Amino acid sequence: MKYVTGLGFCVLICVVPQIGWAQPASPALSGTVNNPSGSPVNNATVTARNTATSESAETHSDPSGHYSFANLPPGTYEVTAVAEGFGTRQLTASISAGAAQTLDIALGSASTAPNLGDLGFPTSQTSGNAADQARLDRRTHMLQMHQRLGLITAGALAATLISSGGAGGRSTSSSTRDLHAALGSMTAGLYFWTASYAIRAPRIQGTPTRGPIRVHKALAWVHGTGMILTPALGIMAFDQKNKGERVHGLASAHGPVGWTTGIAYGLAIATVSFKF
Amino acid sequence: MTKRFLAALFVPASLLAADTQWILVQSTLSYHLAHPLHETNGVSKAARGKGVCHDGQCDFLIAVPVKSFDSGDSNRDLHMLQATRGAEFPLVQVRTHLPESARSASSVQLDLEIEFAGQKASYKQVPFQLTAQGNGVKITGTIPATLSDFKIDPPKLLTVPVKNELPIKVEMTWRPQ
């Protein structure tokens, strides 16, 4: 009886704890990250990538340089260790089912990694310039305003050209002429407001104009001139019509100049919007 | 005689322990940007790079000036320079590492750390193809970058922003120094 009681007690203290507190699974891969002189490296980032599935896991070394991965499926792994101030180290490890693998990693000296100075760029190409960035920011802001206002102006210009059909013929009324004149005035105002943003945008030294923007700028000379001439000719034509006269002389160029201006303006937008 | 023998013994050993260096001799990097109205490619051949191999491990650094990318349109290039904060952060820097033995492979998967527009982004396992060229190696591939990786506001045309994807095609020829 004593024997049975003793055996039961032994079972109680020897087996039950094993059931109640399961031992943690031993890590599938572990080791120590050391620096070139053999001292442990704290907080090194260690990555294990399964070469077959490309799945990766990441951990960090503790102050004693120890790292570990639990639950890594069996396979071949690329193990990479990176730490601030040291060269990167990549090794290969094979994990078998149920077997723990130890892999100590010796980081290389940081001096082996190339740095920017090795590449021989002139200082002007490596150092930032906040003032230049501010100039670029201002330029972009102004050209974005130029774009937005330019689109609004395009709408006003189209409405002006459409309304011209009822403003200049024999069977026209003064109200359609007034509408056309009002739209034309608004278009001219918007146009010069739009142009002012492009004209005042900061120039960036050392950047020659290339590509479609050259055509855009060349067309600006056409529609810019047209946008000055068209209202002037329009005033003359407006006066002649109000006097009951047929539009004649220089004023008769108002329509063709206006249409040329509109077409040049549309093309100017198209050159920077579409790839030809 | 003994000194000569020792010198002959130790000099090759020290040479073997020396670092191997690689130099980028030719490169073409091109980004691709898509907008509903048109698509743009900006190309640079101004990258410089160096690789140092030590104890079988190689660290590489490649850098390229942001303003060296040419899309054929100076206005667009200036806009890109502004959007990517290229005046404040003038270089794109790429760092990677690989085992020296990878030289003989036909393809590699590289972990890249890219510093651009004042931000850092990491790309894991980017596939590249390797082709032997004389004693050098030509490496080609595409980095799947996006504008948001570097917190770049997408440039707009006619108030419509470009797409977020910014794949960068890489062609580089390296030679040992």
Digit-coded pLDDT (tens) for B63-102: 999 999 999 999 999 999 999 999 999 999 999 988 888 8
| Contact state of B78 with A139 under an 8 Å Cβ cutoff | yes
pTM of the model: 0.71
Least Cα separation, residue A233 to chain B (angstroms): 32
pLDDT-based confidence at B173, cuts 50/70/90? very high
Chain B residues whose CB is inside 8 A of the A88 CB are 57, 59, 97
Give the model's pLDDT for residue A68. Answer: 93
Length of chain B: 177
Higher-confidence position of B173 and A89: B173
Chain B residue with minimum CA distance to A209: B74
Give the model's pLDDT for residue A207. Answer: 83
- For residues A50 and A75, is the Cβ–Cβ distance under 8 A? yes
Give the model's pLDDT for residue A115. Answer: 85
Give the model's pLDDT for residue A87. Answer: 73
- For residues A201 and A164, is the Cβ–Cβ distance under 8 A? no
Nearest to A130 among B88, B95, B97 (CB): B88
Give the model's pLDDT for residue A106. Answer: 87
Assess A145–B contact: CB distance below 8 Å, yes or no.
Answer: no
Give the model's pLDDT for residue A95. Answer: 87
Higher-confidence position of A15 and B127: B127
Q: Which residues fall within 8 angstroms of residue A116, CB to CB, at 6 or more apart?
A: A126, B61, B63, B91, B93
What Rg value do the Cα atoms of chain B yield, rounded?
20
Residue type, A59: T
The per-residue pLDDT for range B4-42, each reduced to its tens digit, is 544 444 434 334 445 789 999 999 999 999 988 888 999
Assess A207–B contact: CB distance below 8 Å, yes or no.
Answer: yes
Nearest-10 crossing angle of helices A130-163, A174-200: 170
Q: Which residues fall within 8 angstroms of residue A114, CB to CB, at 6 or more apart?
A: B50, B51, B52, B59, B60, B61
Chain A residue with minimum CA distance to B50: A114
Interface probe for B, chosen from A88, A107, A205, A273 (most Cβ of B below 10 Å), is A88
Assess A113–B contact: CB distance below 8 Å, yes or no.
Answer: yes
Q: DSSP letters of A170-203?
A: TT--HHHHHHHHHHHHHHHHHHHHHHHHHHHSPP
Give the model's pLDDT for residue A25. Answer: 53
Give the model's pLDDT for residue B68. Answer: 94
| Contact state of B82 with A209 under an 8 Å Cβ cutoff | no
Task: Return per-residue pLDDT of chain A as tens, 276 residues.
Answer: 444 444 444 444 444 444 434 444 557 899 999 988 889 999 999 999 888 887 888 999 999 999 999 888 888 888 888 888 787 787 888 888 888 888 999 887 766 788 888 898 888 888 888 999 999 999 999 999 999 999 999 999 999 999 887 776 665 567 888 899 999 999 999 999 999 999 999 998 888 888 899 999 999 999 999 999 999 999 999 999 888 888 899 999 999 999 999 999 999 999 988 765
Give the model's pLDDT for residue B19. Answer: 74
Give the model's pLDDT for residue B18. Answer: 57
Assess A56–B contact: CB distance below 8 Å, yes or no.
Answer: yes
- For residues A82 and A94, is the Cβ–Cβ distance under 8 A? no
Give the model's pLDDT for residue B85. Answer: 94
Give the model's pLDDT for residue A172. Answer: 59
Chain A residues whose CB is inside 8 A of the B48 CB are 119-121
Give the model's pLDDT for residue A30. Answer: 92
What is the average pLDDT score of chain B? 87
Residue with tokens 């940081």: A110
pLDDT-based confidence at B118, cuts 50/70/90? very high
Spatial CA neighbour of A112 closest among B113, B27, B115, B97: B97
Chain A residues whose CB is inside 8 A of the B81 CB are 136
- For residues A151 and A120, is the Cβ–Cβ distance under 8 A? no
